[in-house]
Amino acid sequence: MATADVPPKRLRMAAVDDHPIVVEGLVSLLTRGPEGSRARPDTPAVEWLGQTRTFAELRARIDQWPAAPDLVLFDLNLGDGTDPADGIAELVAGGIAVVVLTSEVRPIPIRRAMKAGAAGLILKSDDLPRILEVVRSVSRGDFAVSSDLAFVLATDDDLTPNLAPRELQVLQLLADGVPRKNVGARLDPPVKLATVVTYLNRICRRYQEHGRDVTTSQDAIRAAVADGWFDYPGTGRSG
């Protein structure tokens, strides 16, 4: 346990987020500490390495830095084509702790990030002191979240039904504008229209079991998008 006689650990930190202004207040708090108060003895001394807009840039910077960061703040919607779960898993495999820093409140993207090995979740709408506590906890090797909502999003697997890959493919094709009668032929291996209908009925039933009013294919598409299984074509989400 840290004491006043033991200097806090120096924590090398970086962030990947395509909205630089979002991280500025957090960096200020982490590097200066709370104004007018004595920093807690377990607060790590932060060495801020910098922020990148894309995961590819972060990977390149890690190769250039004398030592890799101890912790990376990772935005879930970078707009660079990165699969966040893949990026998080790569950092964790390299011994780097990852804390998700996001405005995303859909359960599926957050669930994927947690399963990829993220050690914490910070919602950008939460208070800075709560955010600081997450960084402090993760630096000790603990799992931490910034609010009750963040806890539910990170830990509750029952927020949305699990959809099988083939079911998701059917919904995605319909969302892309493929007529229902042609969806089966676009699957690999192809299936008959009756099988497509079976998939759709199964999806609706799963959502109904979760108390959701999903009775049509369009209802199912809207529910899947709301949960974060995929986005409507041509749309993007920030943070």
| Other beta carbons within 10 Å of 89 | 18
Task: For helices 128-139 and 20-32, give the axis angle rounded to 10 degrees.
Answer: 70
More confident site: 41 or 73:
73
- Determine the Cα–Cα distance for residues 186 and 120; give it in Å rounded to an integer: 39
Q: What is the mean pLDDT of the chain?
A: 88
Chain segment 159-206, per-residue pLDDT in tens: 999 999 999 999 999 999 999 999 999 999 999 999 999 999 999 999
Q: What is the mean pLDDT of residues 16-36?
A: 71
- What is the pTM assigned to this prediction? 0.85
In Å, how far are 143, 181, 183, 222 from 11, measured between CA atoms?
16, 56, 51, 42
Chain segment 201-239, per-residue pLDDT in tens: 999 999 999 999 999 999 999 999 999 999 988 665 545
Q: How many residues does the chain have?
A: 239
- 3-state secondary structure labels for all residues of 15-77: EECCCHHHHHHHHHHHHHCCCCCCCCCCCCEEEEEEEECCHHHHHHHHHHCCCCCCEEEECCC
Q: What is the pLDDT of residue 237?
A: 56
Q: What is the mean pLDDT of residues 47-59?
A: 93
